[in-house]
Amino acid sequence: MVLDEYMQENFPALTLKPPLFYDWNICIRFKLGMDYDSESVYENCPYLKGVNNRAVTLFESLHKPDDEILLVIDVNDFADGESFKRTLNIFSKYVKQKSVLYKLQQRSIPFVFPEDDDEGIYRTHRFTLKCTTADIRYSPMIKAICNQDMGLKPAISHDVYFINLEKETIFHIYDDRGCDLIATSIDRIRAIYDKYNDWILDYDRNQIDKVFQNNSIIDR
């Protein structure tokens, strides 16, 4: 499978699951949400406009229209559950051409959060689509990902990964609060680190700066 081969070659020993930041050395964690106020969250409110602007800006800085990517969506469900089938609607909604959807692959893998599944009743249903950035309606898709905890529609509550096959990066928006960007080398994402340095999450800034300023990478 393309995903397994790519991960093994470029991100060995990494399990594709959140939080990516704590499982890979070359990583940046960006803050998306600013000045959150639970009393002022509504469709197209200033808070969410700011979240979406940052998320889309970072995405477009990383992914050019003709870049080949893997769009990966993980659905965590009961081992014999049926809800994963509804994920097909996500792809049909955000992929521009039906012909591209013929490349969609799906398989069930062991639950990616085994520590939360003592009884062994869950599975992760992984959907993978190889396409180009231009094939995806990424702006509304990103908005739906950021809406997942806002009680607004549309919303995507599953883990979505944008894997850039050429630039060797993985971009994951975990919710409206922030996103993780990992890469196979510092040079792959140094320009993003420099340009959007003010957006780096302060809580993790020391760890991030140490990697990029000193080039001090310890293999995991």
pLDDT values of the chain reduced to their tens digit, one per residue, 220 residues: 689 999 999 999 999 999 999 999 999 999 999 988 877 888 889 999 999 999 999 999 999 999 999 999 999 886 555 655 667 788 999 999 999 999 999 998 999 998 887 787 888 999 999 999 999 999 999 999 999 999 899 999 999 999 999 999 999 999 999 999 999 999 999 999 999 999 999 999 999 999 998 765 544 4
Q: Two tokens at 13?
A: 């020993």
Domain extents in the chain: 2-213
Residues across the chain: 220
Strand order in the sheet with 68-78: 27-31, 178-183, 169-175, 159-164, 68-78, 122-132, 105-110
On whether the pTM is more than 0.75, the answer is yes
- C-alpha 189/C-alpha 180 separation (Å) is 12
Position 114 scores a pLDDT of: 84
What angle separates helix 87-94 from helix 138-146, to the nearest 10 degrees? 140
Position 219 scores a pLDDT of: 43
- C-alpha 173/C-alpha 20 separation (Å) is 10
What angle separates helix 205-214 from helix 186-195, to the nearest 10 degrees? 120
Give the closest residue to 133 by CA, choosing from 162, 160, 159: 162
Q: Two tokens at 16?
A: 């594709």
133 phi, psi to nearest 5 deg:
-55, -40
4 phi, psi to nearest 5 deg:
-60, -45
For 43-109, give the DSSP string: TT-HHHHHHHHHHHHHHHHH--TT-EEEEEEEEEEETT-SGGGGHHHHHHHHBS-HHHHTT-EEEEE
